[in-house]
Amino acid sequence: MAVVAARSVADGDDSQLSRAANRHLARVDSLDAINRLVGGSAPPGAFLELLEGLPLETVDDGRLVDLARLLLGRLPLADAPPETEDSLDSPARREFRICNHAVAMLATRGLATELKVLAEGQSPQAQALVRHHLRQARQVAADSAQAYPGPTGLLDLLGRSDPRLIRNSGDLIGVLLEHLDDLQHELSHNNGFRDLWSPDGQKLGAEDDITDWL
């Protein structure tokens, strides 16, 4: 009943009742709110209220990517005033904060590949925003892919005389050389070089991007 009532007054005008209704609808039905935003069916006056009402932490990865793509595509915001204490609450600054939050959430979920795709073809400001969060995304993805043994497994590992365990500097040098061989194979046979260059193949990636890839 509350949802029906909220929809009846959420017509996108600038009244306090309409703003509250749109925020409520975004909280209780985030999927519908994102569909309206992405599909362009949200009234202009309801756009920011729907955005700020969204509980982004509960949005699934796919829809969060869709929302981030929409917001990145709106950068730079034409009506964004110079950043001063008085402008921090302007609609443009509020929208930018939500955009930054959406991209940051993708990073905390380790969605590095999705972020790289999102940056393609975007404005310089949008690309800079994605790059700012890309290192964290790669780190989270790497940590998630790492298998950590439990206490029992760790004790078993320490008790083994496995030649793959690193016991001294010679073992470490051997592992590094083996890893360099893997990197060379990845670059020359598995198109790994594509991760280090721009999509058009004309520009080498930034030092931080290359370091993260390595």
Residue 22 in this model has a pLDDT that exceeds 70: yes
The per-residue pLDDT of the chain, averaged, comes to: 80
**pLDDT for 79:** 56
Of 101-105, 163-167, 195-199, the least confident: 163-167
**pLDDT for 211:** 75
| Structure-model confidence comparison of residues 88 and 184, the more confident one | 184
pLDDT band at 1 (very low <50, low <70, confident <90, very high): very low
Task: Indicate the pTM of the whole model.
Answer: 0.65
Of 6-15, 105-114, 167-176, the least confident: 6-15
| Structure-model confidence comparison of residues 15 and 187, the more confident one | 187
Q: Which residues contact 103 (CB under 8 A, 6 or more apart)?
A: 68, 72, 115, 118, 129, 130, 133
Identify whether 76 is preceded by a cis peptide bond (ω within 30 of 0): yes
- The whole-number average pLDDT for the span 171-189 is 83
**pLDDT for 78:** 59
What is the per-residue pLDDT across 119-143, written as a single tens digit (0 to 9) for each? Answer: 999 999 999 999 999 989 999 988 8
**DSSP codes of every residue in the chain:** -HHHHHHHH-SS-S-HHHHHHHHHHHHH-HHHHHHHHHHT-S-GGGHHHHHHH--GGGS-HHHHHHHHHHHHHTPSPTTPPP--TTTTTSHHHHHHHHHHHHHHHHHHTT-HHHHHHHHTT--HHHHHHHHHHHHHHHHHHHHHH-----HHHHHHHHT---TTS--SHHHHHHHHHHHHHHHHHHHHHS-GGGGTB-TTS-SBPPHHHHHHH-
The radius of gyration computed from the CA coordinates of the chain, to the nearest angstrom, equals 23
Q: Would you give the distance in Å from CA 109 to the centre of its chain? A: 7
What is the per-residue pLDDT across 50-105, written as a single tens digit (0 to 9) for each? Answer: 898 999 999 999 999 999 999 999 988 655 555 666 666 788 888 999 999 999 99
**pLDDT for 70:** 95
Residue 185 in this model has a pLDDT that exceeds 90: no
Residue 4 in this model has a pLDDT that exceeds 60: no
